Amino acid sequence: MDKSTKKTIIQQLINDDSKSISYFKPKESPKRSIVWQSFSIICVDGKKQEIVSCDKCKQLMAYRARDGTNSLARHTRSCKNESSISSSNSSNQNQVTDYFSSSKTSIIPKKIKDRVKIARVEFIALDSRPFETVFGEGFMKLAQSLFDAGKYFSSTSTVNLKDSIPSPVT
């Protein structure tokens, strides 16, 4: 049985308040990930399944010990309900904003947006790239760093971009 089918069946059992469903919390230990504070392992008829439930939003997720808890941690960070991990970390760990004030997001003028749009289309056409390239996380980070770098120069100065981008062979 594939994971999707198994998840659907378990979700139906949960919705029906089946007595065959129980939840198991791993024992806390120094080696155990803090992410388990927000998840429970689902058991069907007392047998642990490779399915866990978010304690906050009740979403079911596939989990295998050998794959680790990265996907669970990612879910916890994006969970719509406030996560216990975030609140427990906030008391122990300082945030970047504790040291620096967060910068305001500026409204980008239409003229700049149009220039960026034209540059994106030219990039896609000249380099024969798929449109999705300019919406990827990596491209967005590159574009953001270029915008941020532009803050250090006056509007009258000219910058040779080739000086800021390393050679592809290094």
**CB burial class (10 A; 0-12, 13-18, 19+) of residue 130?**
exposed
Rounded Cα distance between 170 and 167, Å, is 6
pLDDT averaged over every residue in the chain? 79
Rounded Cα distance between 82 and 100, Å, is 24
Strand partners, 53: 40, 60
Phi, psi of 44 (to 5 degrees): -120, 120
CA distances from 101 to 54, 57, 97, 104, 130 (A): 33, 31, 6, 9, 38
Range among 23-32, 44-53, 85-94 with highest mean pLDDT value: 44-53
Examine the pLDDT at 100 and tell me if it is beyond 60.
no
User: Which pLDDT band, with edges at 50, 70 and 90, does 86 fall under?
Assistant: very low
Contact status, residue 37 vs residue 88, Cβ threshold 8 Å? yes
Helices assigned H by DSSP within 53-151: 70-78, 84-92, 110-126, 137-150
Rounded Cα distance between 52 and 62, Å, is 6
Examine the pLDDT at 52 and tell me if it is beyond 80.
yes
Q: Which residue has the higher pLDDT, 2 or 76?
A: 76
Examine the pLDDT at 90 and tell me if it is beyond 70.
no
What residues contact 84, with CB distance under 8 A and at least 6 apart?
37, 38, 55, 56
User: Which pLDDT band, with edges at 50, 70 and 90, does 40 fall under?
Assistant: very high
